[in-house]
Amino acid sequence: MMQTAATSQNDALDRFITVYTSLRKDNLNTLDEIYSEDVVFEDPAHRIEGYDNLSRYFESMYTNVTDCRFNIHDHAVNGDVAFISWTMTLSHPKLEGGAERAVNGCTRLVLKEGRVVLHRDYFDLGEMLYEALPVLGSAVRMIKKRLGQ
């Protein structure tokens, strides 16, 4: 039986979710299963082109964190585009004394031939990073509070 394009994209998304929910320092090589060689990865702080550069970025990121885990909540596929909502729980020795921080976000993926060619993460960089830094954190929280009034 021939696989439909929709089934193929759902399979690619399922593989992506499986890799990300089990991603740890010792299995970063599993990223090779989901990304194309010419992938473009973007988040609020980075734009990375090419799988080799992305692989180096993940190695650096996971070397510096104590722990980083993803909990996937919802996901949907529409043609070649997939969306995922998630909570990332991370701890870094230089942020709040290594305490765990939970950051909510979502990802937009563009899939081609069963692989991710574009990965764009959306999350609050202030929530993830700036609020955890001494001095700057209290300033960011104060600004957010004032905006909410």
Domains for the chain: give ranges and CATH numbers. Answer: 5-123 (3.10.450.50)
- Write down the pTM of the prediction: 0.80
2 versus 140: the higher-pLDDT residue is: 140
- 135 pLDDT exceeds 70? no
| Per-residue pLDDT tens digits for 60-84 | 888 878 888 999 999 999 999 999 9
The DSSP 8-state label assigned to residue 4 in this structure reads: P
**Per-residue pLDDT tens for 39-48?**
999 998 899 9
Averaged pLDDT score across all residues of the chain: 84
CA dist 62 → 18, 50, 67, 68, 92 (Å): 18, 18, 8, 7, 10
Per-residue pLDDT at 22 exceeds 90: yes
Average pLDDT of the segment spanning 24-47: 94
pLDDT value at residue 55: 96
Q: How confident is the model at residue 96 (pLDDT cuts 50, 70, 90)?
A: low
* Phi, then psi, of 95 in degrees rounded to 5: -115, 115
